[in-house]
Amino acid sequence: MSGIWHTDDVHLTSAGADFGNCIHAKPSVVVVPRTVADVQEALRYTAARNLSLAVRGSGHSTYGQCQADGGVVLDMKRFNTVHDVRSGQATIDAGVRWSDVVAATLSRQQTPPVLTDYLGTTVGGTLSVGGFGGSSHGFGLQTDNVDSLAVVTGSGDFRECSAVSNSELFDAVRGGLGQFGVIVNATIRLTAAHESVRQYKLQYSNLGVFLGDQLRAMSNRLFDHVQGRIRVDADGHLRYRLDLAKYFTPPRRPDDDALLSSLQYDSCAEYNSDVDYGDFINRMADQELDLRHTGEWFYPHPWASLLIPADKIEQFIETTSSSLTDDLGNSGLIMVYPIPTTPITAPFIPIPHCDTFFMLAVLRTASPGAEARMIASNRLLYEQARDVGGVAYAVNAVPMSPGDWCTHFGSRWQAIARAKRRFDPYRILAPGYRMSFD
């Protein structure tokens, strides 16, 4: 067999864990492919033995999504080459981390239009789920900014696909949760990168004003980055902060008064603060180092991300505030920011039926052994979100039954089942999501 195959307990234990540290399911073998042929061989091996196969990038899933209990984990860390950066595009292996993508593109004064907050995830990983970021109000998701993909389907066929060639596979794999094939490389779009970023961190005491200013910032398109965050102060009160950013290249500089004149914030915690663009997009790096140092990085992370219609978000936060803020601790927070539905084109990514929705991400860290209560809370939040027309962003630590998945995908389910039969006829891919296609 080619590639690198591991069956020792060290590798199996590592592949049976993820960032979430809520579920641990060891595979029987870990395969580290170096070529497309290695990927195909691993799929044939899996199918012949009636096993399941999960693809692992950086292992940043939160609820066992990259695990395969007793099956095969395909570790894509050797698919780590940035092949080509040219005007408006880059072709990149699926195992490349986004931090390495931007290191390569910024040397050519270009950048992906949408980046997730944490750049330690891989290209194949985020393209399999969606990829939200602070610029999604203008550019949609990362899945909306990919021009073509190279994929090995569950049946072992290598195919290149795009919106005009093998479009059914292209549409299935983008945001398809790894159910239909293994992404081996991607050609993504790039835009011109500015040199600097001016940050504005605006404080609010009123939830409605906070959310209204976010919608205003989204609609007027004056800012390149729009994200809100909620924390709990020492007295147990909710505190709201709107993080805005404007990209620029000196000698031209942003006009602060023009940018902020329509907003109704209480105060500005950080004003006229300029940083290098590369430092801004990789702003989580120092936080990761701190959390690794304290050990919290290795604790359970029962995260929940929900997409809530804009006309329901204020009431949803008010009625669920105790559940939302429970156990946030020092390192936890709630992210909330608006996204219009128009730029989102990947058909297998469910979004609310409205013009604008809010991403609501509850990012909690649990003490070891305390995650079960938070997971139960996540489940309740998910059900409450469904009741107001919301959906889950499927990267959650939320228990989902096969029936829940049918409800989650709604009218898309029949198309998803057809794509599963066509591209993964042996039903071996992505067992960690616990879907059923019987």
- Tokens standing for 2? 């080619």
Q: What is the pLDDT of residue 104?
A: 98
- Tokens standing for 122? 């891989």
What percent of the chain shows pLDDT beyond 70? Answer: 98
CA distance 356 to 353: 9
- Tokens standing for 37? 């042929």
Question: Is residue 128 a contact partner of residue 204, using CB atoms and an 8 Å limit?
Answer: no
Sign of CA dihedral 25, 50, 179, 184: positive
CA distance 378 to 393: 12
Q: What is the pLDDT of residues 410-422, one digit of tens each?
A: 999 999 999 999 9
CA distance 370 to 368: 6
User: Helix, strand or coil for residue 270?
Assistant: strand
- Going by pLDDT thresholds of 50, 70 and 90, the confidence category of residue 269 is low
Q: What is the pLDDT of residues 363-385, one digit of tens each?
A: 999 988 889 999 999 999 999 99
User: Helix, strand or coil for residue 362?
Assistant: strand
Q: Which helix (H) or strand (E) holds 92?
A: strand 89-93
Residues 148, 144, 113, 64, Cα dihedral to 10°: -90
Please report the domains of the chain, with CATH numbers, ordered by start residue. 4-77+426-433 (3.30.43.10), 78-192 (3.30.465.10), 196-392 (3.40.462.10)
What does the pLDDT average to over 422-429?
Answer: 98
- Going by pLDDT thresholds of 50, 70 and 90, the confidence category of residue 153 is very high
What percent of the chain shows pLDDT beyond 90? Answer: 92
Q: What is the pLDDT of residues 198-223, one digit of tens each?
A: 999 999 999 999 999 999 999 999 99
Look up residue 49 and give its amino acid: R
Q: What is the pLDDT of residues 32-91, one digit of tens each?
A: 999 999 999 999 999 999 999 999 999 999 999 999 999 999 999 999 999 999 999 999
